[in-house]
Structure 1
């Protein structure tokens, strides 16, 4: 989701409503893997959203799993 879509989603909720959550950005994925391209980050974010488990949450482990889920496996010679 883009920041624009996130803001639109929040705009539909009253300012005094209670909430909690995590907010992860592309830079967080780059902290895990600095060489990621923009396209790889987009794919990893989509993977993270599609494979989210509320029992696990969005955390560093989940981001790493999302990156692993979209990156091709390196072939060892």
Structure 2
């Protein structure tokens, strides 16, 4: 079932199927049992914090927050009735 490659002296054969059986794992490393707690969230850079506060004070949409204008547009029918 191989393919003859004229540029080579040997026959190229299909790759064998990988073994698909389940094997018991005698030892489970500690890293598989429990994970370290996630790192504490880091506040954004001060310049971004100031910008986000200024936008929030003006009622603008902030990244990661709900967009009131988009919700209003999507609530309207797409075709006049």
State the TM-score, normalized to the length of structure 2. Answer: 0.24
Rg larger in 1 or in 2?
2
Decide which structure has greater helix share. 1
Question: Higher relative contact order by CA 8 Å / sep ≥ 6: 1 or 2?
Answer: 1
State the TM-score, normalized to the length of structure 1. Answer: 0.25
Decide which structure has greater strand share. 2
